[in-house]
Amino acid sequence: MNRKPFTYTFGELIDRLSIVSKKDLFELKGARDELNLIMKWLEDKGMNPYLLLSIIRITQANAAIWEMEHEIRIADEQFNDAEVGKRARMIRKENITRIRYRNELDKGVHVEEKVKHLSEEIYDKYY
């Protein structure tokens, strides 16, 4: 799709923003430039691009966390301690990303309250 952002429908724009933001997280060539273009266009149109991007990235992080936790749940006894620990660290890293974007949405309105997640229970059990 080679159209400029201003020719997208809102749905297409959100779809494109979610794809480009994922590419940006993986540092793919050209993704940051395209992301900046979309973000500037949104800002020029009076929208808060960081609000939209934060919502998308929280959703991406939650999906990744759920997938990793689900793999641990279904594999239960099949993973050795090292593999469970590796996955727990990956989940923790993704949680840091999720919290960073959630805090971007909150902008100091909410203080992070610690909740014990599956990844922490696994981490505590094996480390």
pTM above 0.75, yes or no: no
Q: What is the pLDDT of residues 14-42, one digit of tens each?
A: 899 999 999 998 899 999 999 999 999 88
Phi, psi of 66, rounded to the nearest 5 degrees: -60, -45
Helix 31-44 × helix 49-75 angle, to 10°: 130
Residue bearing the bigger pLDDT, 30 or 2: 30
User: What separation in angstroms does the CA of 27 have from each of 11, 55, 115?
Assistant: 24, 19, 31
User: How would you label 111-125 residue by residue, b for 16+ Cβ within 10 Å and e otherwise?
Assistant: eeeeeeeebeebbee
Q: Tens digits of per-residue pLDDT, 95-122? A: 998 998 888 888 755 455 566 666 666 6
**Residue 117 identity (one-letter amino acid):** H
The separation between CA 115 and the C-alpha centre of its own chain, rounded to angstroms, equals 19
